[in-house]
Amino acid sequence: MIGDCNISWVEEFYDNALGYVEDDYTSTVRGRTISYTPDVIDE
């Protein structure tokens, strides 16, 4: 799964993550909400 990626998606992920409340662990990419809580990452 790790390999080539679209850098604009990564930039969008980080830009949108900063718009949420601190410790919310949520971002939006291409209109989809993404959770990156420790529990989700451990899956």
For the chain, which residues make up each domain, given as ranges? 7-41
DSSP result, 8-35: HHHHHHHHHHTTSPTT--EEEETTEEEE
Answer whether 0.85 is exceeded by the pTM. Answer: no
What's the average model confidence in pLDDT over 12-21?
77
Average pLDDT, the chain: 80
pLDDT in tens, 19-38: 666 678 888 888 888 888 88
Quick one: pLDDT at residue 5?
Answer: 73
